[in-house]
Structure 1
Amino acid sequence: MTQEEKLNAVYRLTTGLAQQMEKSRIADYTELLHSPFRLIWLNVMAGTARGVGIALGFTFFAATIIYVLQVLGALNLPIIGDYIADIVRIVQHQLELKTF
């Protein structure tokens, strides 16, 4: 292997590493670490968005389950219908209490 081939190999490796570091956006990450208020702000916003998403998703899921239980309760199935009707009555009673 000649000196020129070795230099070309080192150049290719260095170029590959530089491209990988650019793809990983390490410069943006280190810049973010040097501004703690921006880091905190981004984390607060991300946490708020995650919390709102979880609340909306759970509300939709719970409403769907309650609706399905009401429909099943209306079918008057022998054993399951009574159990579902009890669950629906408990949930409706809790909603009427308004403990907040």
Structure 2
Amino acid sequence: MTASEEEMRHSKEEAERVDEALDEARARNAEPTDWEDLRDKVTELYLVLERINLTDYIAYLNNPRRLLWLNFGVGLVKGLGGAIGATLLLGLLVMFLKRLVLLNIPVIGGVIGEIVKIVNAHNGS
């Protein structure tokens, strides 16, 4: 037997093993024929639905007024948080730029000085 014949026989055997494994997997995943299996699957589905709080979510979706108010509140909080965060970051940036101007770096100092003057003029300082 040559090497190629040996490889072909080996690949055929491997294909047969894969086919058997697929048949077994299909048999395990087939629809339950026994009432006990069916009850187990329904119980498993019930537990999954309980875990994800499906009933609470459906009640939430069925109350449009509550849905609107809750989404409005979430949007308000996100907007307020974004505004506060941006203000803090820009304030820190301006403070950093002011300190950088004090170092008197030739090229950067002039550009940053102009930016600080514009910001101060806009703020009324």
What letter matches 1:82 in structure 2? G
Q: Indicate the structure whose relative CO is greater, using CA pairs within 8 Å and at least 6 residues apart.
A: 1
Larger radius of gyration: 2
What residue number does 2:23 align with? none
What residue number does 2:18 align with? none
What residue number does 2:106 align with? 78
Q: Are 1:19 and 2:47 matched, yes or no?
A: yes
What letter matches 1:84 in structure 2? I
Q: How far did 1:25 drift?
A: 1.4
Q: How far did 1:75 drift?
A: 0.5
What residue number does 1:50 align with? 78
Identical counterparts, % of pairs: 32
What letter matches 1:22 in structure 2? E
Tell me, which stretches of 5 or more residues in structure 2 are unaligned? 1-32
What residue number does 1:89 align with? 117
What residue number does 1:60 align with? 88
C-alpha separation in 2, matches of 1:31 and 1:16: 22
Q: How far did 1:58 drift?
A: 0.5
Q: How many residues align?
A: 93
Moved over 6 A (4+): none
Tell me, which stretches of 5 or more residues in structure 1 are unaligned? none
Match of 2:67 among 39, 61, 76: 39
Q: CA RMSD in A?
A: 1.6
TM-score by length of 2: 0.69
- Deviation digits for residues 20-68 of structure 1, max 9, x if unmatched? 1112211111111221111111111111111111111101111011111
What residue number does 1:8 align with? 36
Q: How far did 1:7 drift?
A: 2.8
